[in-house]
Each structure stands twice: as C-alpha cells, then as structure tokens.
Amino acid sequence: MKIKTIGKSFFCFSLLWLASETGYAQQDSQFTQYMYNPVNFNPAYAGSREVLSIFGMHRTQWVGLDGAPVTNTVSFHTPIANSDLGIGASFVNDRIGPSDENTISVDVSYTVPTSDYFKLAFGLKATANLLNVDYTKLTQQPGDPELQYNIDNRFSPNIGAGVFWYSDRSYVGLSVPNFLETRHFDGAKNSVAKEKMHYHFIGGYVFDLNPDLKFKPSILIKAVDQAPLQADFSANFLFNEKLTLGVAYRWSAALSAMVGFQITDGLLAGYSYDAETTKLANYNSGSHEIFLRFELFKNYDRIISPRFF
C-alpha cells in the first residue's frame, strides 16, 4: 500500500487512513505473499535461489472502494555464473486514487559462505521513480487553488541496501530499500508527497512435520518514522512438494488465506485473499493477490528441498 500526503483535499477514503493532514502512513507496496519475492524490498535476495527466477504479481486492494490501490510488479533475479554475485531488476506500478507511480529498480548482491550450511548476502538497490498525480480525478470546488497543479512524471532517484542470511531451511533479512527521503512539490501550498525511509525485517523457517508435509512460518516487519509498526505473520503448509495452503495475519489490519500450486518443476502459481479487520471492512469486499513464478536452468544439486522461499 503506497499512501501519500497530497494536500488538504484528497479522495474520500483517505480520511480513514490518515490521522491528520500532516500524518504519514506506510508508503512501500504491500504484498501478502511477500515470502515468494523478497527481492522487491531486499536486494541481497538477488540470486539466492541459484536459478533465473522471473516473478509477476497483481494485487487489487479493497475491492469496491473507489480509488483503492492497485499494484502490479514484475521482477527477475539470477546468480552470475562462476562468481559470488547476483543481479536482478524489478518494475512496480502503484495506482491509488489520483496518483500513478512507476518504480524501476536494479539489484546487485554479493554472497559469502559463513558455515557449511549458511550463506550471508549483501545487496545494493538503485531505483528510479516517476510520480504522477492528476487532481482532476478528485471531487473539488471549482478554482480550488490547492488543486491547480498536477504532478507530471516527477522523477526521483534513490538507493537502498540489505543483508540476507540463509540456509536451505531458514532465513533472516534486514533492508532499507530507499535511503533518500524525497519530497515532491507540485506548486500548490501545503501540497506535497514525501517518501520516508522504511526498514524491513524478514525471517522464516521450514519444519518437516512428516515426509509429505512441511510447515513454514514467516514474518515481515516494516517500520517507518511517524507511522505505526506493521507486522505480517504467515504460516504455510506444503503438501507433497506441490500444494501450499496458508493463513496470514497483518497486525491490526487483515486476515488472509493463501493457496499455491507447483504446476511444473519451474512454474509456481499462487493466490491470496485478505479480509479487513478494521472499519474499512464496512466499505470494501477484501483484497485479491495473484502471482506466477517461473524459473529456468534449475540445478537440483544446488536448490535442495525443502526450501520454498
């Protein structure tokens, strides 16, 4: 969920998000199935699956609420042969109310072994962002001076970094996707969108419950200045290396159900549904998220079951 503070007049449901005109909320894109694509916020993940991994996701949030967020993302990452380096790139489009934002990122990682079972990766992320805000999409008073200046393809660069420590069964990661706190002015008094620095912590583990059933709990914590801490708790069960069923809870926000299926050795599809636990539940019918992950040149000697992150 990418939320901007864009002046005194905003679309109706923004009042449910912001405590005041000067408040800030979570700005980075929000995904329920974050565990399948950590490279979106942690560049150190790039190349860690040791294959070429291509990922696409579509998220429609708060269905039925006019102007609600819609997010599309496509990414790929791969190790570089005969080296300890990984590279990746991603594209994210966020649409919410009058705003349309495109973000292109390039990731580079460097991995070193820390034991016979664990590796530690360091990553850097370079980002280019284009922000558009069309105030004509808002209901407004004619001639309102606050809403006379649209934001058109406002460009802002950024840099980020992360670390990712992992084995075949467990992982933890810490990242800051954007170090620079960018301010976007559109010429109108008190009308500004500001990017804040976000901190992401991710962790998970794979348990063998029996030969045909594996359990993977995971957590994602996001922190940003002047906004409530956001925590996602997820529990996935993998049946016969094919079917994944899971549930998730976003602290003080939503309950989710997830399903995934390994269609072929290289193709995974997944779906999730979020039901709001806040007052927003009275104004929408939930959120939907679908994804596909396609992987090439799979090396079974290097990607070892039961890893599925």
Average pLDDT over residues 137-144: 63
161 pLDDT more than 50 = yes
State phi, psi for 102 to the nearest 5 degrees. Answer: -115, 135
State phi, psi for 130 to the nearest 5 degrees. Answer: -120, 120
Query: pTM of the entire structure?
Result: 0.86
pLDDT tens digits for 215-246?
999 999 999 887 889 999 999 999 999 999 99
> Whole-angstrom Cα distance, residue 26 to residue 195?
10
Average pLDDT over residues 96-107: 94
Residue 5 pLDDT: 37
Beta bridge partners of 107: 88, 125
Q: How confident is the model at residue 152 (pLDDT cuts 50, 70, 90)?
A: confident
Q: Which two tokens stand for residue 226?
A: 């002047």
184 pLDDT more than 90 = no
9 pLDDT more than 80 = no
Average pLDDT over residues 260-272: 95
pLDDT tens digits for 185-199?
545 545 555 667 899
Question: 82's torsion region: left (phi>0), alpha (psi -120 to 50) or beta?
Answer: left
Supply angle C-alpha 290, 295, 299, rounded to 5: 145
Beta bridge partners of 174: 163, 201
